[in-house]
A and B are shown apart, each in its own frame.
Chain A
Amino acid sequence: MSALKNIPSRVLFGYATAIVAAAILPLLTGAAFGNSWVRVLDFTLLYAMLALGLNIVVGYAGLLDLGYIAFYAIGAYVYAWLASPHFGLHLSPFIILPTGALVAGLFGVILGAPTLRLRGDYLAIVTLGFGEIVRLFLNNLDRPVNITNGPQGINLIDPLISITPFSFYGLRVTSVYCYYYLFLVLCAAVVFCCIRLQDSRIGRAWMAIREDEMAAKACGINTRNIKLLAFAMGASFGGVSGGLFAGFQGFVSPESFVLLESVMVLCMVVLGGMGNIAGVLLGAALLTITPEYLRAIATPVQMKVFGRALVDPENLRMLLFGIALIATMLFRPQGLWPSRQQLPATKK
């Protein structure tokens, strides 16, 4: 406990408030807006984990990855293969999630190794290609041997948690609440890992590579291994989130892993503030909750104003999302909550 003494009491108080707020949030949300919004909160935490994983690759190491969703897909499919009637396997999540992390991490190295020489937009395009290749294989590997079940995807996946719904002071408690607390604990663990990584020798090496790869090399950093480590680490975080997604959703299909999802996660990192954990969490929350909110209000508001629904809410939400991306880059390129260190986005 001596480590706690070194932390200023103001920071400790902040952490305590955040934990309490996070713990009672689903109860308030569920009571005020219904259980479907608790589900949105679950997704927020899932995306937060995913975004924190990508933050390691993009925010710390400065390697732009546009195919990150592939690792999420790999984690999700590993879970689906090992816990569904598809292959008849029903392993415990305690085995599957680490396996998913390992497999995704391995793919991270497979992607990272040939692309070590590339940087910037070239790397972005290769990773984009990688993401699309993974998706196309998932879509087509139902023949000759049915591995992925093609575009239909795999369903009837064993749930991570299943409880019988019960009533708690008038609130109908279903498994979405349990998922929330599970994801909250895991998300806190990921945040803890990220903070420790950021302040470690490895984290400093990543940032050194981000600022100037040549200088980092000259200072004795093994840039090859450190970059591969960033890819593997980010990928395994993605793999775990993917596994959780599969167990939560009970269903996976290639449709969930399109390029737009990669872009969405990247935007969470960029919009929130690259390299800053709090910023990334903020970005994940904003980009998960706002679209859901828009989806819920777009049609009623249009009905009121124009008398009929002129614009599909899905298109409206994507349109606003695109505009938000452009506006952020034009007016606040460092993100809403930037990290205190100098960022790649603010330097030429």
Chain B
Amino acid sequence: MEMLAQQIANGLILGSVYALIALGYTMVYGILGLINFAHGEITMMGAMIAVAALNIFLHVLHLPPLLALSAAICIAIPCCMLLGVTIERIAYRPLRHAPKLASLITAIGVSIVLQNVAMMVWGRGYQRFPDIIPAENVSAFGATLTPVKIAIVLLSACTLLGLWLLVNRTRLGRAMRATAQNPEAAQLMGVAIDKVIAATFAIGSALGALAGIMVAANYGQADPYMGFLLGLKAFSAAVLGGIGNLAGAVIGGLLLGLIESLGAGYLGTATHGVFGSNYQDIFAFMVLVAVLVLRPSGLLGEHTAERA
């Protein structure tokens, strides 16, 4: 019972990170119909920049830990927003009317570039996330949680609420929804779709960067390879929920987190130790393949017969 509670808690924490990243995929897909392959690398850049900044603030400027952390977050997020907008401008905008394959390949190119730039700047190894958040454990409902994990869940919840308000209650949100529905019609109604698309990339990148920082804080490290798997899993989450659908991305993220955590936790017991938790990474791909084959529109997506 205790293990179940612990696995559910872990799954929800993992899931809220996936949800934040999945939103970035789903927002871009909803508007451009493009899989932004480089999104996982933006997440990685967010984590790397934040950890590097944090180390400078702590060890060079000797700021108090919480101030240093907030300052690092405040530096990493705008950097990633700028990065996202730049990528859109250089690699995606010129190809907006080209076939899908072209932008898919530039996206792969961008992610290779970002990963290697990170390796050039920070080296191939990982950067340690300084221990600034106290590590004393808190027990709740039979699960043991660290303050970092609680902070992750709370911060994700606040961010999701903020995003919901942005999309549903502001002019920009309305413009985004209009562009997602029909770009030409939105343009005729006076929506500057280029600006809306840039804003979408900026918001998605900010969410991704935040998620990257959370992952770095949770595992205590950030490395140039972290973006790939994280991005792929978050993409699976977005597909699971129904790509293009914001609520779907959140539900898909949480669900995937739970599937992974419970699956990895119980696979060993269920198969008498034949398969262990080293198969954790397979669940995301299995889910992805299963969803795309059985219900390509995802849990909440509108039914589309075929997407070319």
- Residue positions of A touching B, CB distance < 8 A: 64, 114-115, 117-122, 124-126, 128-130, 132-133, 136-137, 140, 143-144, 259-260, 263, 266-267, 270, 311-312, 315-316, 318-319, 321-326, 328-330, 333, 344-348
Most chain A beta-carbon neighbours within 10 Å: one of B34, B102, B119, B228 = B102
Residue contact A263 to B108, C-beta cutoff 8 Å: yes
B292: chain A residues within 8 A (beta carbon): 115, 118, 122, 125-126
Shortest A42–chain B CB gap in Å is 25
Task: List the interface of chain B (C-beta within 8 A of A).
Answer: 34-35, 90-91, 94-95, 97-106, 108-113, 115-117, 119-120, 124, 228, 232, 235-236, 239, 273-276, 278-279, 281-282, 285-286, 288-289, 292-293, 296, 306-308
Q: B289's contact among A126, A144, A347, by CB below 8 Å, is which?
A: A126
List A contacts of B100 (CB < 8 A). Answer: 120-121
* Residue in A closest to B95 when the chains form the complex, CB atoms: A329
A91 to B55, CA, bound (A): 57
Check if A64 sits within 8 Å of B101, measured CB to CB.
Answer: yes
Known contacts A126-B288, A140-B278, A312-B120, A330 near B113 by CB under 8 Å: no
Q: List, in ascending order, chain A residues with CB within 8 A of B94's CB.
A: 330
In contact, A326 and B289 (Cβ under 8 angstroms): no
**B279 close to A122 (CB less than 8 A):** no
Contacts of B105 in A (CB 8 A): 266-267, 270, 325, 328-329
CB distance from A321 to the nearest CB of B (A): 6
- Give the residue name and chain of the A residue nearest to B282 (CB): A136
User: Which residue of the partner chain, among B108, B109, B286, B307, contacts A122 with CB atoms under 8 Å?
Assistant: B307
Q: Smallest Cβ distance from A273 to chain B, in angstroms?
A: 13
Assess the B279–A325 pair: CB atoms within 8 A.
no
Contact between A322 and B113 (Cβ–Cβ < 8 Å)? Answer: yes
Q: Among the listed B106, B228, B281, B289, which residue makes an inter-chain contact with A325, where contact means beta carbons less than 8 Å apart?
A: B106
Given A117-B306, A119-B306, A326-B106: A132 in contact with B113 (beta carbons within 8 A):
no
Would you give the shortest CB distance from B56 to chain A, in whole angstroms?
21
Closest A-B pairs by Cβ, 10 of them: A325-B109, A322-B112, A322-B113, A129-B285, A326-B109, A319-B116, A114-B293, A322-B109, A329-B106, A318-B116
Q: Are B113 and A323 in contact (CB under 8 A)?
A: yes
- Measured CB to CB, the closest approach of chain B to A25, in angstroms, equals 30
- Select from chain B the residue with minimum beta-carbon distance to A318: B116
